[in-house]
Structure 1
Amino acid sequence: MHHPYDVLTPDSLAMLQVISETGSFAAAARQLGLVPSALTYRVRQIEDALDVLLFDRTARQARPTEAGAELLREGARLLREIDAVANRVRRVATGWEPQLTIAVDGVVSPHTMLELVEAFYAMAPPTHLKLRDGILTGTLEALTSGHADLAIGVSVEGSNVAGLQQGLLGELLFIYVVAPHHPLASVPEPLTDATLLQHRAVAVADSAQRGGATMGLLGGQDVLTVDTMQAKVQAQLRGLGGGFLPEPMVRPYLEAGHLVARRVARPERNMRLHYAWGGPGFTAAGRALQWWLNQLQSPATRRALLENHHHF
């Protein structure tokens, strides 16, 4: 009798996936370039070694049994892990990461980010890039939870995270703005908390999976919560509420008269933003991460990431 080691090879796991996807032994045999009897024989070998039935043969289609479905699930995971090992080995050989994930906060200029992406691809690196949206503590959490390799626009301290490294991106002024037809546009300044409390605020949901933070909200205030900074700008342009927004992001709307800035009694919000990398288990930056960190050394690039919001 065969040992599971002999039959649970990447090749046979991939074969089982094909049978499940095509729904029949005949179709799977065609796709794999095997004669149906050879395919059936290989499946029976696996079933004998594990002492289970993997496919229900009474139906016209090859439907996985519960045991078969479990093997397919675990098999898919094993195949992914084999891919990951191969990627890691290739990365070690070339110094390039197979994938680099960057968490980008909603206050960061998407135009400048895409210009950097363009420059990155111009080197024809073997690295797949993945950009993730982040808001407030979620931008840092993507990094510390292992879902990102670099976080740009971190507004919270991550100094308590082992191995985390960060650099200063710059300071960003948040100003309170409303649409010209909003009631708060014509109230005498400075606007007190008591006045603001009577009107709806527009807030961006923190993208952190747990906990999360809010900015500039008052207890008991009606709040419209949206998912992105762009949606917050649009909601405030429509007069659906008021709120703090980064000055570079709203500058064109202020100049065109589509939004008005109001002075509030609470102090102006100047936010220090960082970029961060590393964290638990981090050893050394691969060539892709190193390239991005080199770009972030440039004061002009850092400034553009915070200010270049309307480059068409």
Structure 2
Amino acid sequence: MTLRRYLDRRLKLHHLRAVEAIHAQHSLLRAATTLGISQPALTRTLQDLEEITGQRLFDRLPRGVRPTEAGTLLVAAARRILAELHRLDEDLDRLSEPGSGTVAIGTLPVAATGVLPGALTRLTAGYPGIHVRLEQGRTEELLPQLAAGEIDLIVGRLYEPAVPDGFPREPLWEEPISVLVRADHPVLSLPEVTPEALRRYELILPTVSQRVGQEIEVLLDMLGLVPGASLRSSSYGFIREMLHATDLIAVMPRLMMAGDLLRGTLRVVPLPVPAPPRPAGLILPRDRTLPPGGQAFVACLRAHLAEIGQRGLTAITMTDTQAPESDKTGGQPRG
């Protein structure tokens, strides 16, 4: 006999917030702190939920909790419902204040420091009523948020999914790994830059995710550069200052330094070495259209990409932009 749970009558919003917090924090104590309630109160809420659903929702572990299959289903539904309510709140704000709105953007680290600042500057100037929420992370961390409606789109490197996931991907630009130096670096005065010439200089490398790190290692190996004694930092500001002040050379995704490349204070070293393709762009939701704020952001992103493409910083792959693609690391801004 099928159990009638009457979830539409019995589930409350505080139940959904509770199960989502427990899943996010992997701990009843941390979830209670996040929600601003006591742990016994959260435990009673969880017991209430398990009575309503007729299922155990979390397995208690020596350290923390882990969702059961039923718990995973309920968490996914809770995230969708809470995201829809948040979106409704924003839509009602837009009705009361025409020209306003919100766009929630998931961004990968390279895009966050590269193309995103310029696109958001355009958005702020052209659409001052639109508010932006940013969530930075890896693709595998952001996709569940996109599926749940917690973010509107993802911007950054387009990695091939291990298995098809149904999310539309739209390539817009390339994020090549390049060799960067200050504008008056001695290596740029050479008639031809060779790997041997680069080996005379010390390296500074970014501390990045494993996948980006592997792509940097590929170019280092192609150039015969040994990264063992190189200086490494997770601070792009520190790398930037060291490049401007010394003869260090950096091997990194060039758009991490897009602002300095546009200003001409840093340069891309032209090398006769094919750069492995690194397509980047948008990952869009499967089952809904972008809100007006999201559409405005994409328009500003396209405009910014067109500008940096015209300056020679990267190959642009948008269908409405006839920018030549390049398989070299030697593109550099003009003018």
Partner Cα distance (2:171, 2:294) in 1? 14
| Deviations, residues 135-177 of structure 1 (Å, cap 9, x unaligned) | xxx6x6666676665344547778x965433143489896642
1:289 aligns with 2:294: yes
Cα separation, 2, equivalents of 1:269 and 1:43 = 53
**Residue matched to 1:122:** 129
TM-score of the superposition, structure 1-length normalised? 0.52
Q: Is structure 2 residue 235 aligned with structure 1 residue 232?
A: no
Please point out which of 258, 265, 272 is paired with 1:266: 272
Root-mean-square deviation (CA), in Å?
Answer: 6.1
Counterpart secondary structure, 1:82: helix
Find the residue that maps to 2:215 and give its secondary structure.
coil
- Kindly state the Cα deviation for residue 122 of structure 1 after the two structures are TM-superposed: 0.5
Which AA in structure 1 matches 2:226?
Q
Letter in 1 for 2:249: G
The corresponding residue for 2:201 is 199
Where 2:115 maps in the other structure, the secondary structure is coil
Q: Distance in 2 between matches of 1:18 and 1:132?
A: 25
Q: Which residue of 1 aligns with 2:117?
A: 110
Partners of 1:270 and 1:12 lie apart in 2 by 49
Alignment of 1:1-40 (within 5 A): 10=12
Contact 2:174–2:280 (Cα < 8 Å) also in 1: yes
Q: 2:260 matched to 1:249?
A: yes
Q: Secondary structure at the match of 1:213?
A: helix
CA-to-partner distance for each residue in 1:246-296, whole Å, 9 max, x for gaps? 676235463xxxx6x586553596988642223xx7123231433333444
The TM-score with structure 2 as length reference comes to 0.49
Which residue, 148, 153, 156 being the options, matches 1:150?
A: 153
Question: Which residue among 208, 212, 215 is the counterpart of 1:213?
Answer: 215
Residue 297 of structure 2 aligns to which amino acid in structure 1? W
1:85 to 81, 88, 99: 81
Distance 1:43 1:187 in 2: 68
Matched, 1:303 2:314: no
Is the Cα–Cα contact under 8 Å of residues 204 and 229 in structure 1 kept in the other structure? yes
User: What residue ranges of structure 1 are gaps of 5+ in the alignment?
Assistant: 29-39, 50-64
The one-letter amino acid of 1:277's match is I
Q: Given the superposition, is the C-alpha separation of residues 216 and 234 from structure 1 closer, same or farther in structure 2, using an over 3 Å criterion?
A: farther
Contact persistence 1:236–1:242 (CA under 8 A): yes
Tell me how far apart the structure 1 counterparts of residues 80 and 32 of structure 2 sit (CA, whole Å).
Answer: 21
CA 1:270–1:249: 2 relative to 1, 3 Å: farther
The structure-2 alpha-carbon separation of the partners of 1:301 and 1:207, relative to structure 1 and needing over 3 Å to count, comes to same
Partner Cα distance (2:243, 2:274) in 1? 19
Q: Which SS does the other structure have where 2:242 is aligned?
A: helix
Which residue of the partner structure matches residue 181 of structure 2? 177
Contact 2:173 2:281 in 1 (8 A): yes
Q: Distance in 2 between matches of 1:294 and 1:168?
A: 12
Q: Say whether the 8 Å CA contact 1:172–1:270 is kept in structure 2.
A: yes
C-alpha distance in structure 1 between counterparts of 2:295 and 2:308, whole Å: 20
Secondary structure, counterpart of 2:246 in structure 1: coil
Query: How far apart are the structure 2 equivalents of 1:236 and 1:274?
Result: 25
* Change beyond 3 A, Cα 1:141–1:211: farther
Q: Is the 8 A contact 1:143 1:150 kept in 2?
A: no
Q: Which amino acid aligns with 2:248?
A: G
Change (3 A) 1:176 1:291: closer
CA contact (8 A) 1:204 1:227 kept: yes
- Larger Rg: 1 or 2? 1
State the number of aligned residues: 261
Q: Which residue of 1 aligns with 2:316?
A: none
